[in-house]
Amino acid sequence: MSKIGFIGLGRMGKSMALNLCRKGFDLIVFDLNVSATNDLKEAGALVSPSVKDIATECDIVVTMLPSSKEVEFVALGANGIFANAKAGTVLLDMSTIDPASTLRLHEIALSHGQTVVDAPVGRLAIHADRGESLFMVGASDTDFPRVEPLLRAMGTTIYHCGPVGAGGKTKLVNNFMAISLCQMNGEALALSQKFGLDITTTLSVLYGTSATNGQLRLNFPNKVLVNDLTPGFTIDLAHKDLSLVLASAHANSVPMPLAASVYEFFSQARAAKFGHYDFTGITDVICNLSNIEKPRVPEGWKVEN
């Protein structure tokens, strides 16, 4: 079996790497967080001392990193992936980064006889824990079959969205909607609270009409509405993704006034030191600013199907 490198063991990456170990992949990992690498070592992975060592030993190198800056750092340079990996190596980048950066990296990879696949992750951290992630893949028809077994070990749903870059572009469309829905839901629930309405009745009405959405039905009842603000996806990361959405929209002359408005409110939330909250916590930010009681459902309340 080919050796697989995995760089980036954050909240999502660690769970994804653990799923690869559980499915029997020969995995070598690298992260600056010693605790995360120790957990992977206990699961059977080898821990590499450097990106360079991973690049020289692996046929596919997975990156799951916060932004374009970190992906470019590990890919480029004398100690990076491209300079040290053999011809035919695939960089499988699962980060959410600027699609233009993905295309630049792919061009550089080709000059080394290597290729890039972008496969950003859909769904939440809890889905990554269970191996139920969704992947949006940008890959050549040659590379897609090479990475598909890894994706199936980490998730349940895979979409080949097109050539390199198409996965990241699809992710930006998805995250624009998911983040904007969080903002809309937060404003709606704050207004409901100000009106003095019963939260469970309000939710039941919203779930029974076309106003319902996946964030309100699937995410909110498991996070902010039960007072759990531990991040599955932080306000900081949502803000970063919206900046990518707007940059790409500007580059393609697409007006996105809603994205701009949501971006600025998330900027305000970060300035108020709420960036570490789960992004459903934007609801609490709105309530804090308005002196409104935060919406919380009673213990044991469940969403009715």
- Each domain of the chain, given as residue ranges in start order, spans 3-163, 170-290
Distance CA 43, CA 236 (A): 30
- State the pLDDT at residue 123: 85
Average pLDDT over residues 229-239: 94
Helix, strand, or coil (residue 165): coil
- State the pLDDT at residue 1: 59
Environment class of 107 (CB within 10 Å of its CB; exposed 0-12, middle 13-18, buried 19+): exposed
Share of the chain above pLDDT 70, in %: 99
- Per-residue pLDDT tens for 182-219? 999 999 999 999 999 999 999 999 999 999 999 999 99
- Per-residue pLDDT tens for 20-33? 999 999 999 999 99
| Residue 263 pLDDT exceeds 70 | yes
- The model's pTM is 0.93
- State the pLDDT at residue 19: 96
Do the domains spanning 3-163 and 170-290 agree at the CATH topology level? no
Which residues are known to be catalytic?
171
- State the pLDDT at residue 42: 94
**Structural tokens at position 50:** 């450097």
Options 2.40.50.100, 1.50.10.100, 3.40.30.10, 3.40.50.720; CATH of 3-163: 3.40.50.720
Architecture of domain 170-290: Orthogonal Bundle (1.10)
Distance CA 130, CA 176 (A): 25
| Residue 232 pLDDT exceeds 90 | no
| Residue 2 pLDDT exceeds 90 | no
Average pLDDT over residues 258-278: 97
Instruction: Label residue 303 by pLDDT band (50, 70, 90).
Output: confident
Average pLDDT over residues 58-86: 96
- Per-residue pLDDT tens for 157-187? 999 999 999 999 999 999 999 999 999 999 9
Helix, strand, or coil (residue 119): coil
Share of the chain above pLDDT 90, in %: 93
Instruction: Label residue 121 by pLDDT band (50, 70, 90).
Output: very high
The Cα angle at residue 37 between residues 35 and 41, in degrees rounded to 5: 115
CB 171 within 8 A of CB 160: no
| Residue 125 pLDDT exceeds 90 | no
Question: How many helical (H) and strand (E) elements, i.e. helices and strands, does the chain have?
Answer: 14, 9
Please give the mean pLDDT across all residues of the chain: 95
Contacts of 257 (CB under 8 A, 6+ apart): none
Instruction: Label residue 305 by pLDDT band (50, 70, 90).
Output: low
- State the pLDDT at residue 124: 82
- State the pLDDT at residue 186: 98
